[in-house]
Structure 1
Amino acid sequence: MLNGGLEAVQALVDDHTDNHPDLKRDMEYLTSIKGVGTAVGNTMLAVLRGNHFRSAEPVAAWLGGCRMKSAPEVQYGEGQGCQNVAPRRGAKLYIATMVAAKHNPHLKAFYDRLVLAGKAKRSALGSVMRKLVHICFGVLMKQQRYDENYAVAA
């Protein structure tokens, strides 16, 4: 019964996204990032389009696990972590981060560089997660697909 209800809700979400050109286009932008599939894309659309974030830093803090010095959009004091703010969203993002750290060339290089520099693997994954959130925020704000060759062109 629970699985049938979950599938019905997912079908409604998919129909809603397909019937709204802006959401459909935003989903295409998000899923152009290696490591971001439809489940994480739906979550990121809900987070990024359902809230008014001015930059990617408060998004990363709101999703959990990312410390920041201050964020007016997040109701926390100076320097406090936001580890348990949104555990379900953070868990989806963590799984996507593990996939991206293996298959996305930019994030894999970033992860490898951090581990070689002596950072613990879980800590390095947290940094990759933060970077993945920044990439998701960037593709939606610039309204363009993720360009794997951007770093080479820049």
Structure 2
Amino acid sequence: MPGIGTSIASKLIAEIGDIRRFASADKLARFAGVAPVKFSSAGKGKEQSSRQGNRQLHGLFYFLAVTMVSKPKNGIPNHPVFYDYYLRKIGEGKTKSQALVCIMRRLVNIVYGMMKNKTEYREPIREEQ
């Protein structure tokens, strides 16, 4: 996958371990601390970011999310599909940190699918605007 080198990939594999222990990408997101946690009482509540989970894995996904949306000096984003998604989330009213969490969650889904199905990354088709 563009943006994931050999060292980052090996760290991801080391932190995740056997992918079969996670029944779904949601479980992996929870393990990585990317999924929000709901706090409620008497039917009223809110969702907050999780402080639980594997902090090393959380840090790796955060690093990858920042790498995907960053634009080097040449002005071309590192990964245009993720950059467009990031801008769309900001356009929906999310803060930059919330948009990064959305990118992290999407990365968790992609990594889970790649590891579970033993497939390589396939570039999604960009929607032209």
- 1:64–1:86 contact (8 Å) kept in structure 2: yes
Compared with structure 1, are the counterparts of its residues 144 and 65 closer, same or farther at alpha carbon in structure 2 (3 Å cutoff)? closer
Higher relative helix content: 1
Q: Superposed, which structure 2 residues align to 1:4-153 within 5 Å?
A: 33-46=1-14, 47-49=16-18, 52-67=21-36, 82-102=50-70, 103-150=78-125
Partners of 1:86 and 1:146 in 2: CA distance: 24
- 2:3–2:64 contact (8 Å) kept in structure 1: yes
Structure 1 residue 135: deviation in Å?
0.5
Partners of 2:17 and 2:89 in 1: CA distance: 27
Total equivalences in the alignment:
111
CA deviations 1:98-153 (Å, max 9, x no partner) are: 0012322222111110011110000110110010010011112222211114567x
- Given the two structures, how large is their TM-score scaled by the length of structure 2? 0.72
Identity rate, percent: 25
Query: Which consecutive unaligned segments of at least 5 residues does structure 1 have?
Result: 1-32, 70-78
Q: CA RMSD in A?
A: 2.4
- 2:29–2:108 contact (8 Å) kept in structure 1: yes
Partners of 1:83 and 1:127 in 2: CA distance: 16
Partners of 2:87 and 2:62 in 1: CA distance: 17
SS at match of 2:93: coil
Query: Which consecutive unaligned segments of at least 5 residues does structure 2 have?
Result: 39-46, 71-77
